[in-house]
Structure 1
């Protein structure tokens, strides 16, 4: 969990080069001031810059200032500013169908490993109307075949609609598990199991899959052998549908929504499906 809110310090602990800051006072002054700050940091020997943002207007200014850089990594909000800057530079044509994805079919499922407040609400909301299977970390630690049980359970229910497989839990439950198993072991057990379940679900015919949790999403993408994603329509701010070709899908397109913990409204798991174009 995050223990320091200062991203300059957080990044500096991971980087060999010096990390500087473009603070909000400069960002408010616009594209030129941001570029000047970039140049000043570079001249002073900094290799990385963290940039403040408090509004969409800030993101537009930052996108314009970053458009000529060879590498930019950021939260999805920066995508508000970059496309306009690329269009002004003649690098990006106007298109009304940039987020159009190929039709996808197959069964539907949700896998949730995040324990964030937002995801807890999303899991609770889906459990009100859809079948749900809870992955028990203690059973995993005891060697139980939780993956097999989850897949057998899902196989008998997915033809009636989306199902939910989750390890999401309240903070006190998470602390109890970590106290007994250790935080690293508990996390590893759950992520490995959820990734194996995801692979099994695709083999059972799932073609549209939502994954909640950053670490869970990474484990699932790796387990499915995904090397690229085509970005599609946005379900909620910062969370789009994507389509990937997975080694586990026998070459057919698979729709994936990879959601970080605190993203999305409470009904995210329920409403997401309507943003997809069904296959014929």
Structure 2
């Protein structure tokens, strides 16, 4: 069984979608305190919130997740990070990978953020987003993890204690035997982390074939999806979300989420922007939003969002980001208490807070509404969620999900 440790919630749903796309029965766990799965699973994904935690805390949580996965029968472990390699000079990708490698006694770890499905490719060790180098994208000015270098080996080496090497594209494209030979050479040289070039799904398939039997691999959802295609598929068991009113809660300020908000608002559907004034609490902001929701037609899908372009963000509300995240969690919890069963959440940090507020620990992974953004079913709450990374989905995603619920 494949066990995946993901560094945020939307990244976890992305990789869970990749496993399910390969036909694997997939469970998404959002807490390390999980009981025996209620249904048989071919893959278990644990979504943590370790991307921007202090290194020691992130490593400790990841090792706890590893112990849970091994207890539930995972014999192949995958460390999943974002396809834009979101991290700082200190970590946490390198320290987490090294700690898990030590725990598994894995001498060499192949890693790549390549995910051609999402337009992420690696060539000569440099990470591209579409046709643009990572450091030339909007990620350069990310408020938490600014990415100002496009070289994955350099980025990783700054976080690691062990040597980092490169598996170039020309070797990958020679096939699995050539890759296996290169792995042996890297081991002989004492390399611990080997960054693999990949520009197509075929390249990822070669890597997956060469890595059969390796106890630990790391990367984005791209490589683990290729690995999953080589597993025996047990079928899928997730129920479809019911029809009905859809709540869309957005906290991401990514360009794509802002476009999705503009499309939804421009279509004439109900929307409410959460704007904090100095002194406002999350409880007050959530109460206003839910009161607004209650005034809308009972069959109308609606959007509640705190997202805004950089030029419109206020700087006179201390801790505004955390305030908006807590507000989103309170809104989701109160809407669930009102019987709302369909929710789309946009943004990794926002999704993490919503999951915490709902108390979701394990969910069954269902169909995708966009690549990397599946429905998940929290059976305990009986709520169906899409936890969407900020950059995922077409511009009309919010409108389309609302239409599918027939609550538009």
User: TM exceeds 0.5?
Assistant: yes
* Structure 2 counterpart of 1:153: 292
Aligned residues: 259
Q: Which residue of 233, 236, 240 corresponds with 1:92?
A: 233
Task: Give a deviation string over 1:67-98, Cα, whole Å, max 9, x none.
Answer: 43334443233354123311xxxx335x4xx3
Task: Give CA-to-partner distance per residue, 1:214-265, whole Å, 9 cap, x none.
Answer: 12112222222222232211222222111123xxxxx342211111111110
Q: What corresponds to 1:197 in structure 2?
A: 331
Aligned-partner SS, 2:311: helix
Match of 2:169 in 1: 24
Unaligned stretches of 5+ in structure 2? 1-141
Q: 1:206 to 1:266 in 2, by over 3 A?
A: same
Partner of 1:53: 198
SS in structure 1 opposite 2:366? Answer: strand
- Counterparts of 2:382 and 2:194, CA distance in 1: 37
- For the residue of structure 2 that corresponds to 1:264, the secondary structure is coil
Give TM-score scaled by structure 1 length: 0.79
How far apart are the structure 2 equivalents of 1:200 and 1:10? 42
CA distance in 2, matches of 1:202, 1:135: 19
Separation of aligned partners in 2, 1:99 and 1:59: 27
Cα distance change, pair 11–266 in 1 and its aligned pair in 2 (3 A): same
Pair 133,18 (structure 1): closer, same or farther in 2 beyond 3 Å: farther
Q: 1:37 to 1:196 in 2, by over 3 A?
A: farther
Secondary structure of 1:160's counterpart equals: coil
- CA–CA distance in 1 between the matches of 2:280 and 2:366? 39
In the alignment, which residue of structure 2 is the partner of 1:248? none
Mapped to 2, the partners of 1:40 and 1:101 lie a distance apart of: 47
Q: Return closer, same or farther for 1:234/1:173 CA change in 2, 3 Å cut-off.
A: same
Alpha-carbon contact 1:107-1:205 (below 8 Å) kept: no
Counterpart of 2:280 in structure 1 is 143
TM-score normalised by structure 2 residue count? 0.56
Q: Distance in 2 between matches of 1:53 and 1:243?
A: 33
Q: 1:119 Cα deviation (Å)?
A: 0.7
- Which structure shows the bigger proportion of residues in helix conformation? 1
Output the aligned Cα RMSD. Answer: 2.9
**1:3 counterpart = 2:3:** no
Answer yes or no: is 1:206 the counterpart of 2:340. Answer: yes
Contact 1:106 1:205 (8 Å CA) reproduced? no
Task: Say whether residues 1:127 and 2:262 are aligned partners.
Answer: no
Distance 1:105 1:172, change over 3 A: same
Q: Structure 1: give runs of 5+ residues left out of the alignment.
A: 246-250
Deviations 1:159-190 (A, max 9, x none): 2221111111112123xx2x4446xx222122
Deviation digits for residues 31-73 of structure 1 (CA, Å, limit 9, x no counterpart): 3333344444444444444333222212222333344333444
C-alpha contact (below 8 Å) 2:241/2:342 kept by paired residues? no
Matched, 1:272 2:401: yes
1: CA distance between counterparts of 2:403 and 2:178?
42
- The match for 2:385 among 252, 256, 261 is 256
Work out whether residues 240 and 366 of structure 2, in 8 Å CA contact, stay in contact via their aligned partners in 1. no
Q: Structure 1 13/232 Cα, relative in aligned 2: closer, same or farther at 3 Å? A: farther
Distance 1:254 1:269 in 2: 18
